[in-house]
Structure 1
Amino acid sequence: MKRFLLTICALTLIHTFGLSQEDLDLSYYLPEGTTYDPSIPKPAEVIGHEVGQWHVTHDKLVQYMLALAEASDRIQIEDRGKTFEDRPILLLKITAPENHQRLDAIRMEHLGLTEAGASSLNPEEMPVVIYQGFSIHGNEPSGANAGLAYAYYLAAAQGPAIETKLKDMVILMDPSFNPDGLQRFAYWANSNRSMHLNPDENDREYHEIWPGGRTNHYWFDMNRDWLPVQLPESRARIKTFHDWYPNILTDHHEMGTNSTFFFQPGEPSRVHPLTPGRNQELTAEIGTYHVKALDGIGSLYYSEEDYDDYYYGKGSTFPDVNGSIGILFEQASSRGHIQESENGILAFPFTIRNQFVTAVSTMDAAWNMRAKLLDYQREFFTEMRNSKGKTAGGIIFGDSKDGARAWHLAEILQRHRIRFHELGSDTEIDGKKFQKGYSYVVPLDQKNPKLIKAMFEKRTTFTDSIFYDISAWTFPLAFNLDYAETARLPETGPAITELNPRQGTVDQASDYAYLFEWHEYYTPKLLNAILEKGLRAKVAKEQFQLGGTSYDYGTVMVPVQGQSLSSEEMHTLLSGLAHESGVSIHGVKTGKTIGIDLGSREFDPINLPKVGLLVGDGIRSYDAGEIWHLFDTRYEMKITKIDTDYLDRADLSKYTDIIIPGFRGGGISESMANKLKKWVSEGGTLIAYRNTAQWLDKHEMLKLEFRKDTLKAENISFEQRGDFQGAQVTGGAIFEARTDRSHPINYGYKNENIFLFRNTNIYLEPDSESYNNPIQYTTAPLQSGYISEENAELISGSVPLKIGRTGRGRVVLFTDNTNFRAFWYGTNKLLMNAIFFGHIM
């Protein structure tokens, strides 16, 4: 009764009077009956406000964690690197003081459970390891704010109960999975907070401006990068994961304001087949501790609904293919300090408390289930070692024209501690040619073949037709690489322990011209750097041979004469650029070739692009951020982010290209549309994505014929309507298309097929003139993932690309994202081709 009255009192004060340190006390969160070490600072003593009174900014969160580590002998702190905005990526290692004296020995013994010889270890005598992470989405802040109270509890709580548990466990605590996003949202919530808290859902406090605080600096969803590992925050946490192999990993999120609290297990029919059944049993048993904890404070909750355990790129699912247990928590969000909801007034401190009690219940579950969890981990890896017949052979992948894409896939393998080798000699498997120096071999007979299968497999049959996230992510298809599974490994070199960056060269100095093919991934970076130096360059629209070398469509020529640099200066410059980009450049002494000569009209000049990217209201921030990231971090090309808020006032004449990422709706007025249409007609290239298709068609900027779904809901009950509609969603699958390699949009691709990611249901009829369909889906294009039967018929033979002229300019439309989540390396060049070669399409 005392606890209940304290809760009612606290929420009444919050609702009626706003917050002060006197109104809200740390005891609201902490378990009753526990004493605390007075030498350990409370959060308010360091950050200047009580937990939940304000949204903690990342700098204050760091300040408090450093203060705890200084004051407590239970905590070691590690700075694992920096975010894009230069914020520290911290990890707290929390255990009993005596364990810190042998922490690395504990870690090595724990890793022994995953290795041969694990049978000699006794789980009854080993500490359990849990990894608890908070607020990977920055505008889901109750987790990171709960981390303040939870870290204090772990550092300061006294008594046999907590001290015994800490002797038997190591807690890896990540106080903020997404520092940049957390900082952005805290600023928004605090700067719009009234002194007298207003729960009206229409208040500005609860409606962030674009792009919101969910994402990191480049507007990526950080909770989709656990498997691709493309971002600095992800690289830090994946290193921690593989350094420790925690038994439980928790991921604290938020959901809609009118919800309650969710914990896993999720939908039983939506678990990836590679996840062992025992994993879900243990997940359910851990859930019983959350039930007890939430019942104890009167909080509503649910489980086994809504959320799935399918995509291994999520924090709560990635552990499941690595012998660990991933747990997702979803708390109804106040999205500020206090908000109306259908469950009554939802106060920020209440959301924090639910996250706090489930962090503690996770700790309780880990301690009580310690032997089970450790034994499960040992069994997971032992089973794979004992089934070597099933894991014989391996996978080979590469591209004989592009070493960089294969290198970057190998880089992901290395981050996941997957063993791989460079191909020992050229070989051919299943009609695919693999070249030494451009290919890698991954044996399946190693520590975790399940993780390898999760990355490389193609899957097209499913027990459920609804997915919380994508249904396919087959890495060699995402990288558009040749690959094959083989029962017998080809000749290989030793395992690669250090993956050195690829470097290019200029084979010889020339007084005539330099040539490089467009195949390598970083050729756009090289070409842009050349053009930025004021040098002239041209692109070959036909194939030719020179000096015994064959040159493909899209080969770039840089003539020596008539340039702003001398031949010696050009050689020095190109040598440096080749080295940085990993692209090989050939110096030639003559313009006479077999095919088009170097002075032919079939070489078209290339202009330095100046690119604008529409951002702001109405634009999908994920899509825009992926493009920004591609230009800024990979190709080192300047891109101007033009907000829809001031598009009407912007001078567009300076831009050669403008990109419109996918729409979320609204954002671009009629006057803006007319302005863009005029700009195109005067010679600009407009590059648009996804559901911008309907907008282009409406404004007569591109003539499109859509294939429509005629499916009707027959014999579907009201209860079944959600599943019926959900089954028609193409949430993320991979499809094969044929290409016309002579078309500029396909320059740099050596194969006549390409693998495309798709998560829309936009299906376009092909043009009657075949040469206007440079990319067209095959008749049965599905390679991996889920698509309904109805949509499979619509996509067959349709086109994912349309190019049209408007006046002197062009419009290029992609029905789907070519830059998905930074790891879809295989189609990045389609955008670059539209940028550099749009004028000749």
Structure 2
Amino acid sequence: MKYLLFAIAVFLGIAAQAQSIALEDYLPTEVSYNQDIPKPSEVLGYVPGEWHVTHDKLVQYMTAIAESSDRISIENRGFTYEKRPLLLLTVTSKENQKNISDIRKKHLQIISGEVSESELSSMPVVVNQGFSVHGNEPSGTNAALILAYYLAAAEGPAIDELLENTIILLDPSFNPDGLQRFAYWTNTNRSTNLNPDPQDREFSEIWPGGRTNHYWFDLNRDWLPLQLLESQARVKTFYNWRPNVLTDHHEMGSNSSFFFQPGIPERTNPLTPQLNQDLTEKIGNYHAKALDSIGSLYYSKESFDDFYYGKGSTFPDINGSIGILFEQGSSRGSGQLTDNGLLSFQFTIKNQFTTALSTLKASLELKDEILGLQHQFYRNADKKAGKGAYVFGRKGDPVLANELAKVLHQHQIELYKLDKDQTIDGKAFEANSSYIIPKNQLQHRLVEAMFEERTSFKDSIFYDVSAWSFRHAFDVDFAEVKSINRGDKITEAKLETPSNLKKSPYAYAMRWSDFNSAKVLHKIMKEDIRVKVAKKPFQSQTEEFDYGTIMIPVQNQEKSADEIYSILNSLQKENHVKISALETGLTQGINLGSPNMSHMEMPKIAMLVGDGVRSYDAGEMWHMLDYRFEIPVTKLDTKDFNRASLDSYTHLIIPSSNGNALNSSGKTKLKDWVKNGGSIIAYKSTANWLKNEEMIDFKTKNDSVVAKDISFGERSEFYGAKRIGGAIFNTKVDLSHPLLYGYNNDELAIFRNSNMMLEADKLSFNNPIQYTDSPLLSGYINKENLELIKGTVPFKHNRYGRGHVMVFTDNTNFRAFWLGTFKLFLNSIFFSDQM
């Protein structure tokens, strides 16, 4: 009864509080405010904190305030997948705005070394303030409304000094699509009299939630890979300005307080300079003082880390800047009861706004030191860069190597083409698909971070992955050389358009090693052109064709020879795939009419999504098929599965999911469909419930480590050290197996972030991929797991009735940038019938 009375009292309290929010509750009182600047409520119709701002309303207000203030300029840097603008506000003094282009150019001279250390004190500091990269962590974006108003309207000597000496790049929403999804949810479930009960529907989003972008990606992991539109826009801004400080405003669990960096010192990437961490701590003292002044609880150095450079708070650290993570305990709606009492949305906004101001204050007062870090970082990079170069390429796949070159070019890494075909360390590098990265360049540290292989660490626990080497992610050949002749410097990473295809009256062959071969094959099939796949190599008079080559006969097709030629010629030009004209079926090896030329049917693909399915994995597969390869995939929601017809689908992808994703009726339906010829491609935890349903059989290896002499306080470290959080391992592969069609190296680097270890089959030909006896290439794994993983397999396949069940222990499409194993996934679709 006491709790009930307390809850009622709190309920009435939050309802009253929600009705009395005023803009003045947020703002500093020591300055006056220009009445000509519109307040948020004058545009939105409410004070921030009363409702969750939707992205359209955010755009409306930011546009209005930019029009009313000579301190602010606004630009749209592009659009999200759902066509929402990616806004950026540049905020500084009126005089600075007049000379903003010259100021930017002068600032960039710090990087190039054209500015002396003595000149730094006369230059403004550049601060990039970014909010809510996770859409359902909305206090940041809502605080950005108040920050924009404050910077435009505040008057007095303090704000004048700030704006004269600071360029503020205000990014009010890192994730517009996710923000819109979450704001819609919480606003439509908000009561007029606010209800703080944590069990209320307002605080329980439907799948997949608003955290991610349109394709269900965690945008805060893409600062380094740059595979997504939002990331490409914000990183372009970063390099356009090279800000000295970049803030990343997040939220965490509702029962938490407020966190600001530094993170756990032992978990800082060793490539990050100590001065960076020292200044981060100095800036943190400003946050502490500011939060003390409003009575907010906080902590620092006790969780999170600065290791993976693909996050907003760590990416700046390898670029001579300072990244700062803020984590606010989330109200996840209008306000709810927590262990710390009533947590209102208004309170979370105030904390974010307060630390946004303390960041600006710290940046101004520590300006010379912060600018000095940037200056020193690039001078030291020059000294430590060393001589020589790295060479990378992919024989037989210029597109894949070019995709990596695109990423490097966006990071302003200096690149050159190889001047001629060369063999280095026994690896063949072709001039048309190989690139040179000189070591002696400004981005040397970033190059090292992107390509290093690290297996030694101070700590065994990581907030994110412990390895991300791009040489392995893109499965390119890689070599280090002392000197090499360079071709042209890369000013734009693109491939030359191939010449016209030679016309044949007989047949064409498309090599499967090309990155876009699956995209082209699907388009060919969509044109109702019959194709076959070569299950064995063959040779024409001029060329060799490997396993998986796609053969397109010209005769006995619904389309004429001219139509087929026109389609193939256009496709090979647009997608940079190698298609060859064949004049005779009398080839060496197998002939074109051989039984080993197997007929192919166009796949019709569905994917299970919804409650019980991991949205990250599903989104990465959806993005890959839909956006990158233009292959349609039907998303079947778990709640609708029992009444959906599977008859038209050949393949069902089941991302990592729990055993409750489908009920017993759904599982029975799934079994019947596979027995009748359907193919399942399953990932990670889905394998376990498929095994329980006796649809696939495998044995696993599990560690037997006992927690001996481990104290209660050390238990988290004990379990954390056993987890494979994200590392890279080497495998040996069977190039004759359909799963490996298109690969030309008998070793393949695999990324994994699961502890599922499958025992190899006794029949070697059933193990197309198998971990080597020395598998660790980069990242952390404890000794026990390292021994266990040797000789295990990351893939299993068996027949079930007339159909196929295939399982992968890990996501082959990890974060859309593990391009080197994309083909495993595609092969499991196109060549399942060949297994």
Partner in structure 2 of residue 318 of structure 1: 315
Could you list the per-position Cα deviations for residues 20-53 of structure 1 after superposition, in whole angstroms to 9, with x for gaps in the alignment? 4xx1100111112221000000000001111110
CA–CA distance in structure 1, aligned partners of residues 692 and 661 of structure 2:
15
**Which of 392, 397, 408 lines up with 1:413 in the alignment?**
408
The letter for the 2-side match of 1:452 is V
Deviation at 1:498, TM superposition (A): 1.8
SS in 1 for 2:325: strand
2:4 matched residue in structure 1: none
Q: Find the counterpart in structure 1 of residue 812 from structure 2.
A: 818
2:394 and 2:499 mapped to 1: Cα distance? 19
Question: Is residue 778 from structure 1 mapped to residue 772 from structure 2 by the alignment?
Answer: yes
Counterparts of 1:669 and 1:12 in 2: how far apart (Å)? 38
Q: In 1, Cα distance between the equivalents of 2:568 and 2:206?
A: 44
Determine the C-alpha separation between the residues in 2 that align with 1:402 and 1:52.
53
Report if aligned partners of 1:506, 1:585 keep a CA contact under 8 Å in 2: no
Per-residue CA distance 1:293-341 (angstroms, 9 max, x = gap): 0000000000001100000000000000010000000000000001110
Q: SS in structure 1 opposite 2:799?
A: strand
Candidates 556, 563, 566, aligned match of 2:550 = 556
Letter of the structure 2 residue corresponding to residue 411 of structure 1: K
**2:553 aligned partner, one-letter code:** P
Question: Distance in 2 between the 1:254 and 1:120 partners?
Answer: 38
Does the 8 Å contact 2:320/2:374 carry over to 1? yes
**d(CA) in 1 for partners of 2:501 and 2:588?**
21
Partner of residue 540 from structure 2, selected from 540, 543, 546: 546
Corresponding residue number in structure 2 for 1:377: 374
- What stretches of structure 1 of length at least 5 have no aligned partner? 1-9
Query: Residues 84-140 of structure 1, C-alpha deviation per residue, up to 9 Å, x if partnerless?
Result: 000000000000000011101111111111113332651110000000000000000
What residue is the counterpart of 1:7 in the other structure?
none
Equivalent residue of 1:269, what SS? Answer: helix
Q: Deviations over 1:522-579 (max 9, x none)?
A: 0000000000000100000001111221100000000001111110111111111111
Q: Quick check: 1:251 aligned with 2:248?
A: yes
Are 2:466 and 1:471 equivalent residues in the alignment? yes
**Corresponding position: 1:233 with 2:230:** yes
Q: CA shift at 1:14, angstroms?
A: 5.7
Could you list the per-position Cα deviations for residues 744-770 of structure 1 after superposition, in whole angstroms to 9, with x for gaps in the alignment? 000000000111110000000000000
Describe the SS at the equivalent of 1:471.
coil
Equivalent residue, structure 2, for 1:81: 78
The Cα of 1:505 is off from its aligned counterpart by 4.9
Aligned to 2:747: 753
- The CA distance in 1 between the partners of 2:779 and 2:482, in whole Å, is 25
Distance apart, 1:504 and its partner CA:
4.1
Q: For residue 391 of structure 1, give the secondary structure of its aligned residue in structure 2.
A: coil
Equivalent position SS for 2:751: strand
- 2: CA distance between counterparts of 1:550 and 1:485? 29
| SS of corresponding position for 1:720 | helix
Q: Do the aligned residues in 1 keep the contact of 2:658 with 2:686 (CA within 8 Å)?
A: no
Which residue in 2 is equivalent to 1:3?
none
Match of 2:663 in 1: 669
2:518 corresponds, among 503, 524, 531, to: 524
Distance 1:435 1:246 in 2: 38
Structure 1 residues 13, 73: CA separation in 2 closer, same or farther (over 3 Å shift)? Answer: farther
1:483 corresponds to which of 458, 472, 478: 478
| Matched residue type, 1:142 | S
Q: Give distance in 2, aligned partners of 1:310 and 1:55.
A: 33
Higher mean alpha-carbon deviation, 417-426 vs 479-488, is at 479-488
User: Which of the numbers 177, 199, 202 marks the counterpart of 1:180?
Assistant: 177
Does structure 2 retain, via aligned residues, the 8 Å contact 1:264–1:328?
yes
Match of 2:396 among 401, 406, 416: 401
Aligned to 2:456: 461
Taking structure 1 as the reference length, what is the TM-score of the superposition?
A: 0.97
Tell whether the 8 Å contact from 2:738 to 2:831 is kept in structure 1 after alignment: yes
User: How is 1:309-348 mapped onto 2 (pairs within 5 angstroms)?
Assistant: 309-348=306-345
Percentage of identical aligned residues? 54
Amino acid at match of 2:82: E
Residues 394 and 433 of structure 2 are in contact (CA less than 8 Å); yes or no, is this contact kept in structure 1? yes
Deviation digits for residues 335-362 of structure 1 (CA, Å, limit 9, x no counterpart)? 0001110000100000000000000000
Letter of the aligned partner of 2:321 in structure 1?
S
1:242-285 deviations in Å (ceiling 9; x for gaps): 01111100000000000000000000000001000010000000
| Distance apart, 1:580 and its partner CA | 1.5
Asked if 1:33 is matched to 2:30, the reply is yes
Conserved? CA contact 2:659–2:689, under 8 Å: no
Given that 2:139 and 2:349 are in contact with CA atoms closer than 8 Å, whether structure 1 keeps it comes out as: yes
Please list the CA deviations of residues 482-521 of structure 1 after superposition, one character each: whole Å capped at 9, or x if unmatched.
1012222x22212110222454455311110010110000
Q: Which whole-Å CA distance do the structure 2 matches of 1:516 and 1:178 have between them?
A: 40
Q: Distance in 2 between the 1:12 and 1:350 partners?
A: 16
Q: What letter is aligned with 1:581?
A: N
1:734 to 728, 743, 746: 728
Q: Look up the match of 2:417.
A: 422
Match of 2:699 in 1: 705
- Contact kept, 8 Å, 1:503 with 1:583, in 2: the verdict is no
After TM superposition, give the deviation of residue 438 of structure 1 in Å.
0.9
Deviations 1:66-98 (A, max 9, x none): 001000000000100000000000000000000
Q: What is the match of residue 110 of structure 2? A: 113
Query: How far apart, CA to CA, are the structure 1 residues paired with 2:795 and 2:500?
Result: 35
1:612 equivalenced with 2:643 (yes/no): no
Structure 1 residue 123 corresponds to structure 2 residue 116: no
Q: How far did 1:692 drift? A: 1.0
For 2:632 and 2:109, how far apart are their aligned partners in 1? Answer: 48
SS in 2 for 1:208: coil
Q: 5+ unaligned residues in a row in structure 2: which ranges?
A: 1-8
Q: Which amino acid aligns with 2:407?
A: I
Q: 2:648 aligns with which of 651, 654, 658?
A: 654
Residue equivalent to 2:359: 362
The match for 1:497 is 491
Alignment correspondent of 2:200: 203
Contact in 2 for aligned 1:505/1:575 (Cα 8 Å): no
Please name the residue that 1:597 is paired with. 591
Cα distance in 2 for partners of 1:62, 1:399 equals 44
Evaluate the alpha carbon distance shift between residue 495 and residue 233 of structure 1 in structure 2; reply closer, same or farther with a 3 A threshold.
same
Aligned to 2:14: 15
Q: Provide the rounded CA distance (Å) in 2 between the counterparts of 1:752 and 1:478.
A: 16
CA shift in 2, pair 1:13/1:172, >3 Å:
farther
Using the size of structure 2 for normalisation, the TM-score is 0.98
Quickly say closer, same or farther: Cα 1:695–1:141, change in 2 above 3 A: same
Quote how far apart the aligned CAs of 1:16 are: 3.5
Question: Are 1:11 and 1:347, in contact at CA under 8 Å, matched by a contact in 2?
Answer: no
Contact 1:541/1:602 (CA < 8 Å) preserved in 2?
yes
Shift of the 117–667 alpha-carbon distance from structure 1 to 2, 3 Å rule, reads: same
Which residue type is aligned with residue 167 of structure 1? E
Quick check: 1:276 aligned with 2:259?
A: no
Checking the alignment, whether the CA contact within 8 Å between 1:505 and 1:583 is kept in structure 2 is no
SS for the counterpart of 1:215 is coil
Aligned-pair distance for 1:633?
1.0
**Cross-structure match for 1:808:** 802
Alpha-carbon distance in structure 2 between the residues aligned to 1:495 and 1:504:
21
Pick which of 425-434 and 753-762 moved more: 425-434
Contact 2:794 2:808 in 1 (8 A): yes
How far apart, in 2, do the equivalents of 1:838 and 1:502 lie?
34
The answer to whether structure 1 residue 141 and structure 2 residue 131 are counterparts is no
SS of the aligned residue for 1:238 comes to helix
RMSD: 1.2
CA distance, structure 2, for counterparts of residue 533 and residue 230 of structure 1: 30
Does residue 349 of the first structure (1) align with residue 346 of the second (2)?
A: yes
1: distance between equivalents of 2:751 and 2:196?
Answer: 42
Contact 1:503 1:578 in 2 (8 A): no
